Structure formats: structure tokens, C-alpha cells
Amino acid sequence: MKASFGFSDLWMRAVVQRVHEATVTADGHLSGKIGKGLLVFLGIEKSDTPDDVEWLAAKLPKLRCFEDQEGRMNANLLEAGGEAMVISQFTLYGSLKKGSRPSFNRAADPQLAIPLYERFVECLSGHLDKAVATGVFGAHMDIVASNDGPVTLIIDTRNKDL
């Protein structure tokens, strides 16, 4: 059982954007580039587990957020032949409960977050049967994305209704 923090319990979180293309640059070097696909901003919370990683990595390729031949959002990433890029983003756990400066107390420390992030990328790559582009964990990154739609979805491993 996960600990309660006295407010809405949120766990591994992803903000997913459908893109025409996206690039990420870290320390002046191109780290990742994709064409049509999903740009995934991944936040890892202190009590996330490998089960959260597995569930989310299996869910993303199945998201029916691409247009089919009739122009309806019925195709998933695999059917659309798209790519994926994953960017670590601890700021998804920023809390403004006590003022104007965000607190990131719920974000996982790197000792936990890095292995879960790397496992997530590995699992997602396995589900897609292709490499997944990434940023550089903990680095300042410049991300350029050409949003498609726009279509933006929030997925939370413990609040599966989002």
C-alpha cells in the first residue's frame, strides 16, 4: 500500500503529446529526434514501482490518438507507424500548495528515478519493437515539438480515469 500524503495521491505521470516531429538537445548536442509520433514527458514519484513502469509502457502504444482513414482518432501508435520520445520531467510533481514557488518533494530522487526511467524506455521500446528517442536525465534540455492537433493527454498510473 502506498503512503497517503493528505491530498490527491498521484503516481507515475505522463503528459503525452501527439507530434508531427520533435527534437531534444542537451548541452548543445542533439540527444533525440522523432518524426510523427508521441512525445512523452515522464514524471516519477517517490513511491513508483516497476509495476507502474510496466503498466504505462504497455498502455502508450495502444493509445488510439491518431487519425484513421476516416479522420477519426481510432489508430494507435503502432498502427500509425509512429515513433516515441521520452523526456524525464520531475516538474510534473511540482506542488504550489504553499505559495508561489513549486515544491518537488514528491518527485523521486535520482537513485530511484533513473533506473525506473531507463526501464520505462526499455519496456516502451520493446512494445514498439523499435528504439525510443530520449533526452538526458537531469540535464537542462531544449525541446522543440510540432504538435499535431493539438492532442495532449495526461496518464497517471494510479488514477487510470484521466
CA distance 88 to 31: 13
CA distance 6 to 57: 28
Count the Cβ atoms, other than its own, within 10 Å of residue 115.
Answer: 14
Count the Cβ atoms, other than its own, within 10 Å of residue 149.
Answer: 13
Q: How many residues does the chain have?
A: 162
The residues assigned a catalytic role are 89-91
Residues 6+ apart with CB under 8 A from 61: 76, 77, 78, 124, 127, 128
Q: Are 157 and 44 in contact (CB under 8 A)?
A: no
